[in-house]
A = this chain, B = another copy of it.
Amino acid sequence: MNATRPQTRRERLDAKETAVISAARALFLEKGEAGTRVAEIAKRACVAEGTLYLYFKNKRAILQAVVADHWEQLTVGAREAVEGQTETFDKLEALTTFHLRAVIADWSLLMLGTRLWATGAEAEEQMERDYRRNYVAIFDDLFRRGQDRGDVAADASLWQVRDLFYGTLEYTARTMMLHPERTDYDGVTEFVVAQVKSACLSGGQMPLYKEESGSRDLRSITGRLEAALKDLKSLDV
């Protein structure tokens, strides 16, 4: 009722729910679903074990809440990152940067999600699919608007490019996690963006572009020649 009085009843309840989710997130990340004890979650959330069950039907429901919460944060973050840009490929770059870091930060959470549908629970599979679809809609939107603006070839295949984008990013993220010495985020971003661009410009099937490319190539080559000649000149006199 009053923003300055944050402790309304409803808000206190929400706070507790949040505490549980974040405690659970930490533990699930650290020890996996099976390795995490409900009692631990309770203790870490500073709540009695029984209290958990006022907020969540059972352990599984906590996991679901964690996953849902994670996707929501992901989606919000990605949307913000993209909205900060106006140009199609600037948006793409922003999304790339965001996704790469987010995935590295919470890799296990994505796995938790994946785990949800390794158990034969149809409903959970569907949820997971919906979360991802909702998240991925940001990319899809970017892609389609790019087509409208002429930045992306009209015949480019959305889902192929999308798989390329997320696949490469997530696999790279995993690689980077396994090889902590690899820290060239910018290089990865640049590579992925370039790759996606390339796939966007052609029809996806043959990733090469119309006019532009030729002139661009020429431009870069020209630039290198000019630089070389400049060197040449500086030697002389």
Interface residues of A (CB under 8 A from B): 30-35, 108, 111, 114-115, 118-120, 129, 150, 157, 159-160, 163-164, 166-172, 175, 178, 182, 187-188, 190-192, 194-195, 197-199, 201, 204-226, 228-229, 231-233, 235-236
Contact = CB atoms under 8 A, between A and B. Distances in A.
Given A115-B111, A175-B163, A226-B228, A205 B220 contact: no
* Chain A contact residues: helix, strand, loop or mixed: helix
6 contacts: A164-B164, A190-B205, A195-B199, A209-B216, A221-B222, A225-B228
Contacts of A34: 33-34
Contacts of A190: 205
A208 B200 CA distance: 12
Contact of A215 (B167, B214, B226): B214
Contact of A207 (B194, B215, B221): B194
Contacts of A233: 231-232, 235
Contacts of A120: 30-31, 35
A187 B114 CA distance: 26
Given A157-B191, A164-B191, A215-B217, 5 more contacts: A31-B120, A194-B206, A201-B209, A211-B217, A218-B221
